[in-house]
Amino acid sequence: MGEPDVQKRGILDTVAIQGLLPHRYPFLLVDRIIELEPMKRVIGIKNVTINEPFFVGHFPGHPVMPGVLIVEAMAQTGGMMVLDSQEKPQAKVVYFTGMNNVKFRKPVVPGDQLRFEVELVKFRHSICKMQGKAYVDNNLVCEGDLSATIVDK
């Protein structure tokens, strides 16, 4: 498998995403990248199904996606944007280092499709600041400011 070329492919599926992100089941929380402007913005998709392992305990009879996993999925989407800018992305990993001003607006349930829109606010050396929003059917369900660092594996 060669290195994914995000800029030429335009849309990345889970196979291409796994070529950049180290996450795997059950912690790969992005299904597709549908838009990518290098070091500017990215849009990712997560299809939420009842088969998600976290629904077993959150909550029996009333499944709701944990907010922290929505934020993690948003961070993974942002990680795709910043890894794509690296010279040898497979040799790097993005560590999520912080979150601020996170707000959860509506619950996310099985059958929902999350659309993550993440914009790069600042990138200096290996530190990045991003602003992310998550939508279901054009309704804002979560938003927050994220920070991360890019390190060698």
Query: How many structural domains are present in the chain?
Result: 1
Considering the domain boundaries, does residue 1 fall inside one?
Answer: no
Distance separating alpha carbons of residues 10 and 21, to the nearest angstrom: 17
pLDDT at 10: 57
Tell me if 90 is assigned to some domain. Answer: yes
Residue 131 is classified by DSSP as E
Is 102 within the bounds of a domain?
yes
Residues, the chain: 153
Closest CA to 83 of 116, 123, 110: 123
Q: What are phi and psi of 63, to 5 degrees?
A: -65, 125
Average pLDDT, the chain: 93
| C-beta of residue 29 within 8 angstroms of C-beta of residue 23 | yes
Task: Compute the distance between CA of residue 152 and CA of residue 93 in angstroms, rounded to an integer.
Answer: 6
Tell me what the mean pLDDT of segment 77-83 comes to. 96
Predicted pLDDT of residue 116: 98
* pLDDT tens, residue by residue, 104-153: 999 999 999 999 999 999 999 999 999 999 999 999 999 999 999 999 99
Residue 82 counted as domain residue: yes
Q: Does 78 have pLDDT greater than 60?
A: yes
Residue 121, in any domain of the structure: yes
The token pair that represents 144 in the structure block: 């927050």
- Output the six-digit token pair for 32: 């597709």
Give catalytic residues, as residue numbers: 58
32-72: pLDDT as tens digits: 999 999 899 999 999 999 999 999 999 999 999 999 999 99
User: In this structure, what CATH number is given to the domain that contains residue 76?
Assistant: 3.10.129.10
d(CA 105, CA 143): 8
